[in-house]
Amino acid sequence: MNSPELDSRSARRLAQDELIAAEPLLPPPDLPADAKPLPLEAHLDRLHRRPVAVAGIVENGLVRPLDPTVKLPEHSRVIIVASETK
């Protein structure tokens, strides 16, 4: 079992996180009854961009690539895959 880590967020960040957590959940999307589920690959194909896997680190909620030569377009969407630290 992992031991809990000390919460090092600032008071401002804690308050912001509490506001975000208190927001009401979004309603489910209004889809027709005969809508078929699509795999994620079909959605990515519509964007006409190829997904790229980049090693990175998350610091204070921001994702930073470890390779300084990697340039992502502004407002890029990322999927974060994390591993447990032991």
Is the CA virtual torsion 69, 75, 76, 79 positive or negative?
positive
> How many residues appear in the chain?
86
Residue linked to tokens 């008071």:
11
CA-CA distance, 25 to 28, in Å (whole number)?
9
Residue linked to tokens 């880590």:
5
Q: What pLDDT does residue 1 have?
A: 62
Q: Count H helices, E strands: the chain? A: 2, 2
Widest Cα–Cα separation across the chain: 48
Q: What pLDDT does residue 83 have?
A: 72
For the chain (86 residues), the mean pLDDT of every run of 10, in chain order, is 82 94 90 87 70 81 83 77 69
Q: What pLDDT does residue 85 have?
A: 67
Domain ranges (residues) in the chain: 52-86
